[in-house]
Structure 1
């Protein structure tokens, strides 16, 4: 497969990958530092990305992601045919817990927050749809690994109990609980999670959240084909 690649395309994608959570605006110098590309190369590639709506540049010369990525992201989410089933369950979880609820899917070595509903509390764990997070840290990632067959602990325990609790595992200030979501054919479709500030997500709150998550997962198992 090594010959099936185009260097210019890969460099353009490298520019887009430089934008991450917390790095949504990047100068030319910052892009050069993040990608290792020459500024002249970035300017040429960025011009094409701008023309097709994948990048935008403000009057200061700072680059931002363009609207074409939002369009593709929306198409990506709809391609799972899950939204109409998942979003009502996220509302139920938030109503039951008053904390942030999210649905994750695996993509390679990462998990993607496909859908989320943030807590109504003013101080909360805030997530954005499309955020990429590691698989091997955090409740949602651990659940996805467990039900993809990852051996050993904690995965054996997750498969035995049907849930996982993360206490400051990915972020020292965040706690989360997660359960798997299967469809009516028994296929793994993703992981439902509830997350909150560690200091207020005590054992009783976590038990209540796990119960709400499992109830949602049970409903989804009957509705997802």
Structure 2
């Protein structure tokens, strides 16, 4: 019996446009005017306004007192569901916060989403001069130390320990690539049976992250990454001693 031909399914154009509007908001653009939304999305104001009304009615967009638009509580709820569904927060956040206490710089955990890497968890240093990254911020996948890590280790299974050459190269270091005066280092995070699930990063101003300081901090980043991988059942860092970070 011949099987029925497969139909090529197209998305709903109005939904695509509404999602395009939602994607415009981030920590650098927490509020936008109708004109800004129209310009950045490529939609005429009348079309953008109708979509904003629908998004507002559903709770995904809200209007501020100065007649600008911001992300609504429903978008926050969905984001929380996404975080909790991964069941990573209770493993990663304590290690991330401990890494920040030990180094005095800011730590992040990034997860790949298509051609972007998204900051899922963030712990900021108390120092006033720091790189500003918020949970939910997205960066092009190939940029910065975390981007290099995704490109290098993203296809590995991760259920066997890394080789000596891999561990000698980690954490990956990037200076000035994400922006002038910004330096960072990153190591891959693996979970048993899942391969690479994200990248642990430490970042700060290059004025503080000198070559000497980077050398001092590298073991802390590697130990933190090893701790997370061990708790997620991956032996990736076993050749580096594995186990729990002290």
TM exceeding 0.5: yes
Q: Does 1:172 align with 2:172?
A: no
Note closer, same or farther for the CA distance 1:211–1:69 as it changes in structure 2 (3 Å cut): same
Aligned counterpart in structure 1 of residue 220 of structure 2, from 191, 212, 220: 212
Partner Cα separation in structure 1 for residue 11 and residue 47 of structure 2: 18
Q: 1:154 maps to which residue? A: none
Partner Cα separation in structure 1 for residue 218 and residue 86 of structure 2: 24
Q: Does 1:202 align with 2:194?
A: no
Number of residue-to-residue matches in the alignment: 219
Q: 1:103 maps to which residue? A: 109
Partner Cα separation in structure 2 for residue 146 and residue 38 of structure 1: 41
Aligned counterpart in structure 1 of residue 191 of structure 2, from 171, 180, 183: 183
Q: 1:16 maps to which residue? A: 22
Greater displacement, 213-222 / 170-179: 213-222
Structure 1 unmatched runs, 5+: 151-156
Structure 2 unmatched runs, 5+: 1-6, 157-164, 234-246
Partner Cα separation in structure 1 for residue 82 and residue 187 of structure 2: 23
SS at 1:172's partner residue?
coil
Q: 1:121 maps to which residue? A: 127
Note closer, same or farther for the CA distance 1:112–1:158 as it changes in structure 2 (3 Å cut): farther
Q: Given that residues 100 and 126 in structure 1 are in contact (C-alpha distance below 8 angstroms), is that contact kept between their aligned partners in structure 2?
A: no
Q: How does 1:85-164 map to 2 (within 5 A)?
A: 85-149=91-155, 161-164=169-172
Superposition deviation, residue 41 in structure 1: 1.2
Partner Cα separation in structure 1 for residue 189 and residue 213 of structure 2: 21
Partner Cα separation in structure 2 for residue 159 and residue 6 of structure 1: 46
Note closer, same or farther for the CA distance 1:127–1:66 as it changes in structure 2 (3 Å cut): same
Superposition deviation, residue 82 in structure 1: 0.8
Partner Cα separation in structure 1 for residue 111 and residue 207 of structure 2: 27
Residues 113-157 of structure 1 show CA distances to partners (whole Å, capped at 9, x for unaligned) of: 11010011122122200110111110111111110249xxxxxx8
Partner Cα separation in structure 2 for residue 79 and residue 35 of structure 1: 30
Superposition deviation, residue 21 in structure 1: 3.5
Partner Cα separation in structure 1 for residue 113 and residue 35 of structure 2: 30
Q: Given that residues 97 and 123 in structure 2 are in contact (C-alpha distance below 8 angstroms), is that contact kept between their aligned partners in structure 1?
A: yes
Q: Compute the RMSD of aligned alpha carbons.
A: 1.9
Partner Cα separation in structure 2 for residue 78 and residue 61 of structure 1: 33
The alignment's TM-score, normalised by the length of structure 2, stands at: 0.83
Q: Given that residues 18 and 52 in structure 2 are in contact (C-alpha distance below 8 angstroms), is that contact kept between their aligned partners in structure 1?
A: yes
